[in-house]
Chain A
């Protein structure tokens, strides 16, 4: 959390591998699995190849942006499903079941067959959140996910993220909204690119809808 220009978004992009570090190292411990055995692998995100980053984005990391950024030629349901199809770690049946469950959870039953340009901002952002978690990523990066939403929609999306968090989903969320930040269990305060404060909170079950 931090005020505008504090460097919070930059930190998020660097950690998620969307932006390159100008110096230093950034390691991510990922699980390697060949189907039978699994092992840990340390990946230097700062120096990872585009191929490695693509794989990371497909399997481990997912994003929710301030703007929804849904693929305009796909319906909301297809946008959610597409993330699973690209990932390739789940069968089509599993993806479909998971998508249907998320659509119910996000209350998108009526809007699921519409294109992004035909739905409200709240519906689109809920679909974006559903798309981000359909493959059960290890970390969900959210950059001001409610920044472009109306008040009612903001609460709705934050409730969904909180529900996901309580279900075990790791979320790294950047916000300048104090209320949104309080939904987390660890809050870092940034100012001029440096961490100037930290707050540890107990699990936020009280915020659940």
Chain B
């Protein structure tokens, strides 16, 4: 954000020049205001009209934009028509110490956010048409590459920024100037990056208020965002994804410890006799333990170093994969200090674990061990599942499970851990929905298929509704208006509905003329609860309202309130063209067709659906994430089964040979062996799923609440319940079946060989 020049507060204004920046600078708490001119314009890409306007910028040298190719690789200067521009304080190559550089863009080309790739399927070479004027005002530019746009590049933001050449910018200005007011579609504007002085005692909210009260900026403001809000938007997806990767890493670390513990105990069991012999020769238990500690410690260290070699590559791969949704090409340079500390911490944890697990080597009693080695496996189990002819393989599997319960605890835990995690990610995928319905509902004030907002009285709403009806009968309609208000002197967006039943109520009741709804975010920020009275003000008028309930709307990270038309009329003007008509269609699938027709044939209206262009990217990202996590989980199941089955087969070679000598075929033995894994993994997975059912919604809901999404609830779902319940046990079974191929090598001759001792 610092690189892109964002201040403590960034205000998007239209129609004014640098004078406003100078006016803001007169406020005592303001340290500096930078002015970044831009053009607001609607645009069409590959036959799709954007719901929102784009903002066109040209690199004037003040901001070092980072241009990338389709794969997310930073473009070298002079490629793709870019020519270098010198920025004071930077090297002649244009590259600063931090690796940033700016460049001048060739005329006729445009650089876009990578998030548009998923939203509009844009590729380099495609053209984008910007609508600047009704009369010959379509300006076409060719996509030459992408640029990292931390704020508007995210799929969470519908408005997108475009980097164009200085010449094209000037041409566009000419078109806008030449157009009559009524014909102008594009308009000039600016981003005012306001920096708060370090000495200022004001909170960001008070600082914002001071600027609004002390200047005329509110007259020209399109919208404004505090740095925290921008960060919230920028980091929403990054944080969710990073959080999941960190949690998954933790799960995998636990799985690694379980598997290592299992492997260690198997090796110790196998070598117990040798240890006993060494002890009889006078070797201390501590020295024997050191051998195992150093061996396993060395392997863990080597594994970690090996993993570290790939860390940067994997981070780069992830960063490139995520950029289509986040809009940011995250630096893949590993933070050395953090990595070192993490490395040491993991090593220490592993060392402590090894010390604990190798403790039993000290307890090996020489003669007792040598005597025991000659005997068979024992069990103290009192319960014995029956052995029946009809279910022989199944019964043998159950008997072995019952006989060697503790051998399967690790398997159970691994399955449970992975199930919890895969169920959680699956529940998130379910909540998100195939088209992103979860996010749609979370970020929209109220459900709708189509929204139409007329901007003047010439818009024939009756005719528009007839057009919509032609595509699909309208089932429900209501009206929504949005306005800026202050609640107890804090600025929020008010969502006003003429039919308050449409609000997504989480707790309490819907609002009326004397009450309002607040989000969890507002409740936390203002320390409010249901029943409290607040002062809501707008346009110089204020009124006291009671908080009637908590509702969900994640717009502005949840910084908004809900009001009824009657309630808002006490402080705001409800007669202007502020109302957006929301429609719920009988056939919601027709909404995109209706929207496109209305966009193409009517002027003076804004038509939108409940979705936004970046949503498809987020859905795609979620699907990729689920796939990646399942792949990683599969690898861990493979490794776990390899080690655990190896240990079991080693311990049971004798029994297996006996079964074979009795005429049980290798195939039946393998099936029986694999069934044990299926049973244990099923039990572990079921427990994991149960845990996720009991706690996942609350856990995810808590995380989501910090992003303004107050409600997270998923019932039974294929992805969150059924898929892990099937996939995990089946993978355990299949891998066990594959590894049990070793049973083919188990020969009855083993029994004979023992005879010949």
A interface, CB within 8 angstroms of B: 9, 13, 18-19, 50-51, 54-59, 63, 65-67, 69-75, 78, 81-83, 85-88, 92, 95, 115-118, 131, 143-144, 147
Contact = CB atoms under 8 A, between A and B. Distances in A.
Contacts of A50: 666
Interface in B706-757: 748-749, 751-752, 754-756
B421 to A, nearest CB: 33
Contacts of B663: 54-59, 83, 86-87
A175 B121 CA distance: 83
B384 interface: yes
Interface stretch (B206-214, B318-326, B453-461, B653-661): B653-661
Contact of B387 (A51, A56, A59, A85): A85
Contacts of A13: 749, 752
A96 B389 CA distance: 11
Interface in B660-711: 660-666
Contact of A143 (B399, B664, B752): B752
Contacts of B198: none
B659 A92 contact: no
Contacts of B349: none
Interface stretch (B74-82, B370-378, B433-441, B486-494): B370-378
What are the 7 closest A-B residue pairs judged by CB atoms, nearest first? A58-B663, A72-B376, A73-B403, A66-B755, A72-B377, A57-B663, A117-B378
A58 B664 CA distance: 7
Given A18-B748, A73-B404, A92-B388, A54 B657 contact: no
Contact of B751 (A54, A56, A65, A95): A65
B755 A143 contact: yes
B389 A72 contact: no
Interface size on B, as a range, is 20 to 34
Contacts of A118: 378
Most chain B CB inside 10 Å of its own CB: which residue of A13, A72, A92, A131: A72
A74 B748 contact: no
A131 B664 CA distance: 14
Contacts of A88: 389
A177 to B, nearest CB: 14
7 contacts: A9-B752, A57-B660, A67-B754, A69-B661, A73-B403, A86-B663, A116-B376
A117 B392 contact: no
A150 to B, nearest CB: 15
B379 interface: yes
Given A59-B663, A73-B404, A18 B754 contact: no
Given A54-B665, A82-B662, A116-B376, A75 B384 contact: yes
B232 interface: no
Interface in B348-406: 375-379, 384, 387-389, 392, 399-400, 403-404
Contact of B392 (A63, A86, A116, A147): A86
A55 B502 CA distance: 73
Given A69-B658, A72-B655, A78-B387, 17 more contacts: A9-B756, A19-B752, A55-B663, A57-B660, A70-B376, A71-B655, A72-B376, A73-B399, A73-B404, A75-B384, A78-B384, A81-B387, A82-B387, A86-B659, A86-B663, A115-B378, A131-B662
Contact of A57 (B378, B662, B756): B662
B387 A74 contact: yes
A69 B657 contact: yes
A146 B659 CA distance: 21
Interface in B399-416: 399-400, 403-404
B655 A73 contact: yes
A134 B77 CA distance: 86
B376 to A, nearest CB: 4
Nearest to A63: B661
A57 B661 contact: yes
A55 B666 CA distance: 12
Contacts of A95: 389
Nearest to B386: A78
B379 A83 contact: no
Contact of B375 (A9, A66, A82, A117): A117
A139 to B, nearest CB: 14
A56 B661 CA distance: 10
A117 B400 CA distance: 15
Given A54-B665, A59-B663, A92-B389, A73 B377 contact: yes
Contacts of B376: 70, 72, 115-117
Contacts of A19: 749, 752
A95 to B, nearest CB: 8
A85 B403 contact: no
